[in-house]
Structure 1
Amino acid sequence: MSHRFVLVVLVFIAVGATPMAAAGSTDAQFVSALPDPATPGDEGEFVTVRAPEGTTVSLDDGEERISFVAPGGRVAVASNPAAASNLTNQTVVSPGLDLANGGETVTLRVDGRVVDRLTYERSHEGALLERHDGAWSWWPRTLPRRSVRTHSSVNATLFVLPDSPSVPLKTLRAANERLLLAGYVVSSPRVADELIAAHERGVRVEVLVEDGPVGGFPRRSARVLDRLATAGVSVRVVGDPHSFHHAKYAIADDTALVTTENWKAAGTGGEKSRGWGTVVESPSVASDLAATFSDDSGLPDTRPWETFRLGRQFVVTESANGSYPSRVATQRVRVRNVSVLLAPDNAEGAVVQQLDTAEDRIDVIQPTVEADGPFVVALKRAAKRGVRVRLLLGSAWYVDDENRKLAARLNDWADRTGNPLSVRLARPASRYGAIHAKGVVADDTVIVGSLNWNRHSARENREVALALDDPAAAAYYRNVFVADWRASERGWRSRPGLVGGAAVAVLVGVAALRRLDFEK
């Protein structure tokens, strides 16, 4: 069974009467650590630090202290330099500390002054503890951290759900050589039909799913995956280090489909959720996503479905069966630029940058958002500089209470400050069942994908999104947003009947999972 490790990191900068800049220590900090390199006796474990050249650096874990003169820049500090040099490209210095797999606190001093302190509760075999964009996370040593890649002038088909459930199926049906499908949950019999049919006509078919969905692994999904595996389709489940394999995409030959929706009736089946999606005809975009698929397929905790399911119990979950009108047609456009965004690799920084460079208007649709997270903070920055910001949140029972409070809080802030920001809770009005889309239109760029607007999604999950920089693409999704916005109203009120102790208990239980996902 996959284990979810919670990382607690304390970064402490000593502050005194004398500025640390005089000694150059403001440039010193911990960069990474490899406490458990998955080698005999943990040979090669190291801590990477950065310190100015010529300063005296010491590391102290409460049991021993080692010191050395910094050569400048980043260095890996290890007891066994020869072994460590096989595990890192950094210059290796010794001696080093023995790092405990069960948890450790290491203090960094430069010229006798404390400048940083690193604490981890438990190591993760074969994984680096890395500081990236100011946050710490475990990352497999052999897994590349990919940067944003942009591809020019590609054809794309734009669609929304529940209006166009045939688009995902047609995309899968068109595969002739390879069909790679990645999801959080895969439980649609129709999707299974297409995967099996592709396999039977000689297409290489592979499926990746999350190993521990919130609430338990659905029985309906287990049945679909059993059917796929029996038919000969390769099915693997992804565990650590991704807290959740939450991406929703497919690669059919040289075409890539990225959506906000799960491969189930409520999502791509068009039987409940408001979702956004795009199909991009581009060998280079497909190659980028195929590389990510390969990375996740090869993780140490990614296992074959047949092995994973042995002795496992599955849970009964609700199945959506709604029927909604098809009001929004698909649109085929020539997009001038498409960028592939990945979490935890680069998506947070890329989205925030897009919000920070918007000049005219930003429209966002999300099931819910983290009130003090980096994305909402960026929205407020945009509003302060005069950008018109609209945020449409979900109103399903499991987010209604929190979202009402958040909407009131942000609308009150906008009223007090006179900044052009407005928040509404969705009113589906029989056009869809619930908001599940995770999208943003910032000026002429639209971002579509699985990224929820919270730190957990951005920094710990595997998420995939596409940023389409094109006025026609932006106009398509903005028109959908405006229709949903106009059907809603500011200051959503609680639904009658959701009262009493039972409802409160349910909401409290859901709040405990709030940071994980919203997959109803």
Structure 2
Amino acid sequence: MTGPPRAVSRRFATSFCLLLLVGTPAASLPVAATPEPGAATGTPTIVAVYPNPVAERDAGEFVTVRFPEETALGSCALADDEGSVALPERTVAGTVTLSTAPNRTRSLVTGRVLASAVPSLANAGEDLVLLCDGTVVDAASYRDAPEGEVSRGGAWRALGRTAFGVSSVANADATVFALPDAPEAVRESLRGVDERLLVGGYTFTSERVAAILANASARGVDVRVLVEGGPVGGVAAREARVLDGLVEAGVDVTVLDGPHARYPFHHAKYAVVDDAVLVTSENWKPSGIGGRGTRGWGAVVHDPTLADSLAAVHRADSEWVDGVPWQLYRANATFQECEPSNATYPRVFAPLDADVDRVSLVVSPDTSRDALLGFVRDANESLLVEQMGIGTDTVLLNATIAAAERGVRVRVLVSGAWYAREENAALVERLNERARRDGLDLRAKLAAPRGRYGTLHVKGAVADGEHVLVGSVNWNENAVNRNRETELVLADPEVGAYYARLFLADWRGGVWTLPVLVAGVALAGALLAAWYLRREIAFDRADAAVGWRP
């Protein structure tokens, strides 16, 4: 969209031409920007404009108007610089959507929808005015309309996209855990369900978890699963078989897909289990929550407020027009064969039970940009970032560098997996070079699992040792601003210490495990060497090996 000066000048010109047509006094010209949706102006307000529908010949263009008082709609008109269109002879109050294809529009918006002609809304841009009793009462402008998006208050949003706020609670019982170390933490959190089990995921191929869901459904639990319909690489044939089995067991399975999809990807990984929430960085598959491959972080938080908030997200994502029943999706889909992961790894980090001082639920794209930026910007002493990768196109990278510039000790660990190595190696070099050039307390490394896990898949961070991010949000533009994602922000020193220790282990490159006999011989040799060297070598500083930090 173009800047305000151009929009104002075009709007003034359009309004002036319309005034010449209808003979309205110049005093009625709007002098302020279009009010934000919901503003109590006392006069009708243009709330939204939908000029580029996902349909042939743009069928279903609409304009949404708010009428604060009961109004004879026939006394009003919508106009652009090509002419004026009279509105239907109806009496209305509240928010009304005027659509050229009302049956299509009713499935896309909430509230009252009326059949009505509207000015032809050009995709390239338009200046639209609303007149009532011959007086211009409001105006709206837009430029370069994206397909399937609606203009609200001068900004484009995907049609049907939600606007959930951050939900926060204090003193919540929680269990935090690491993967692949503690996959049982996921399964145990699901087994005791009594009333509702709502699962959101990117992919779902775990037969173990599917069995838990099927058993819950057989007990009368309301079990619902929501997954992405177009994951990178396609839907696996294994996933199709697992979801088939869930449907046969009475589980409601919905796929986000189709021309009206609100998000590039439904990338969230969570579950609502009665009055608890489970949020992880890992997919519902053996290599993820099954502990067979990836390094991940997760948390189970027991709190009804958080549970209801996340349930509302699940409901909003499942019940709109891009929520396609699995059977309908399956009838037209093709599936890809793939082998499940079956590797095993040492169990080093046990889950931690804690009474967490404060927990906040953040969802993308609704609130994650501001929440994650605030998390990074609020770091005062230390910032440990563990990510599969960090996009160079995101404000989070700039905020991380800015943290180091204001004196925060910053460490960044990113995946060294083959599919991310080249890009992440370039990022590591860039950050380390910046640190050398400007004398910053900033270091970056590629992860080296050394048998502790398969690949790094975390999307987390620890600030000041007591604030932790756990969830699905990759630090790139798409995840922060477009995808559906879920993230928990846990504020608690005990939880912070847990994840700081985990970060340090991953930073060092894992933990070598040795047979007991070999370990004993190695220890004896080390003690003998230390005794000998103590007589031969004097350290320059008594604390030379004390207090090392990553």
TM-score range for the pair, normalised by the shorter chain length: 0.7 to 0.9
Q: In the alignment, residue 503 of structure 2 is paired with which amino acid?
A: F
Distance 2:241 2:350 in 1: 33
Contact 1:34 / 1:47 at 8 angstroms: preserved in 2? no
Q: Does 1:394 align with 2:379?
A: no
Kindly report which structure 2 residues correspond to 1:256-295, keeping only aligned pairs within 5 A, or say none: 256-295=277-316
Say yes or no: does 1:137 pair with 2:128.
no
Q: Which residue of 2 aligns with 1:308?
A: 329
Q: Confirm or deny that 1:146 pairs with 2:164.
A: yes
Q: Which amino acid aligns with 1:237?
A: V
Identify if the C-alpha distance between structure 1 residues 201 and 43 changes in structure 2 by more than 3 Å, giving closer, same or farther.
Answer: same
2:199 aligned partner: 181
Contact 1:66 1:95 in 2 (8 A): no
What is the aligned partner in structure 2 of residue 216 from structure 1? Answer: 234
Q: Given the superposition, is the C-alpha separation of residues 148 and 79 from structure 1 closer, same or farther in structure 2, using an over 3 Å criterion? A: closer
Distance change (3 Å), C-alpha of 1:214 and 1:25: farther
Taking the aligned partners of 2:482 and 2:35, their CA distance within structure 1 comes to 22
Extract unaligned runs of 5+ from structure 2.
7-28, 37-46, 67-77, 86-94, 130-139, 511-550
Match of 1:11 in 2: 2
**Aligned to 1:405, what secondary structure does the other structure show?**
helix
Task: Check the 8 A contact 2:363/2:486 in 1, yes or no.
Answer: yes
CA contact 1:147–1:346 (8 Å) conserved in 2: yes
Once the two structures are TM-superposed, the CA of residue 116 in structure 1 deviates from its matched residue by 7.5
2:51 and 2:145 in contact (8 A); partners too: no
1:11-35: CA deviation from partner (whole Å, max 9, x where unpaired): 34559xxxxxxx9999679985323
Q: 1:358 to 1:108 in 2, by over 3 A?
A: farther
| Contact 2:62/2:118 (8 A) holds in 1 | no
Amino acid corresponding to residue 211 of structure 1 in structure 2: G
Distance 1:234 1:434 in 2: 32
Structure 1 residue 404 corresponds to structure 2 residue 419: no
TM-score (normalised: structure 1) = 0.76
Pairing partner for 2:256 from 204, 225, 238: 238
1:353: which partner in 2? 374
Show the counterpart of 2:490.
468
Alignment of 1:501-516 (within 5 A): none
State the alpha-carbon separation in 2 of the partners of residues 38 and 400 from structure 1: 38
Aligned length: 443
One-letter identity of the residue aligned with 2:125: T
Summarize the Cα distance change of 1:60–1:243 in structure 2 as closer, same or farther, 3 Å threshold: farther
Q: Deviations over 1:12-66 (max 9, x none)?
A: 4559xxxxxxx99996799853236899974742599xxxxxxxxxx998x7378
8 Å contact kept, 1:333–1:472 = yes
Query: 2:544 matched to which residue of 1?
Result: none
Counterpart in the other structure of 2:50: 34
Q: 1:435 aligns with which of 437, 444, 456?
A: 456
Over the matched positions of the two proteins, sequence identity in percent amounts to 40
Determine if contact 1:273/1:434 at 8 Å carries over to the other structure: yes
RMSD: 3.8
CA 1:24–1:468 in structure 2 vs 1: closer, same or farther (change >3 Å)?
A: farther
Change (3 A) 1:66 1:437: farther
> 2:380–2:408: 8 Å Cα contact kept in structure 1?
yes
C-alpha deviation, 1:128, in angstroms:
2.7
Give 1:136 deviation, angstroms: 3.7
1:65 and 1:420, CA in 2 relative to 1: closer, same or farther beyond 3 A?
Answer: farther
- Mapped partners of 2:227, 2:109: distance in 1: 29
**Equivalent AA in structure 1 for residue 505 of structure 2:** A
Rounded Cα–Cα distance in structure 2 between residues aligned with 1:80 and 1:296: 24
CA distance in 1, matches of 2:52, 2:4: 26
1:248-274, Cα deviation, whole Å (9 max, x unpaired)? 001111111100000101100101000
Instruction: Work out whether residues 257 and 279 of structure 1, in 8 Å CA contact, stay in contact via their aligned partners in 2.
Output: yes
Q: Which residue, out of 487, 506, 509, partners 2:509?
A: 487
State which of 204, 209, 213 in structure 2 corresponds to 1:191.
Answer: 209
Q: Say whether the 8 Å CA contact 1:12–1:116 is kept in structure 2.
A: no
Stretches (4+) displaced over 4 A: 23-32, 36-41, 76-81, 86-89
Pair 1:165-2:183 in alignment: yes
SS at 1:99's partner residue?
coil
Q: Secondary structure at the match of 1:120?
A: coil
- Which residue identity is paired with 1:119? D
Deviation for aligned residue 1:95: 11
Counterpart code for 2:338: T
Q: Secondary structure at the residue paired with 1:439?
A: strand
Q: Structure 1's 108 and 383: CA in aligned 2 closer, same or farther, altered over 3 A? A: farther
Which of 200, 225, 230 does residue 218 from structure 2 map onto? Answer: 200
The answer as to whether partners of 1:44 and 1:87 remain within 8 angstroms in 2 is no
What secondary structure, in the 3-state scheme, does the structure 2 residue paired with 1:245 have?
coil
Check 1:305–1:388 CA distance in 2 against 1; reply closer, same or farther (3 A cut): same
Task: Tell me, in whole angstroms, the C-alpha distance in 2 between the residues paired with 1:356 and 1:26.
Answer: 34
Q: Show the counterpart of 1:494.
A: none
Taking a change above 3 Å as real, the CA distance of residues 387 and 116 of structure 1, as seen in their structure-2 partners, is farther
Residues 377/286 of structure 1: CA separation in 2 closer, same or farther (3 Å cut): same
Q: Distance in 2 between the 1:228 and 1:79 partners?
A: 41
State whether residues 200 and 271 of structure 2, in contact with CA within 8 Å, keep that contact through their aligned partners in structure 1: yes
Q: What's the offset of the Cα at 1:362?
A: 0.8
Structure 1: distance between partners of 2:49 and 2:247: 39
TM-score by length of 2: 0.72
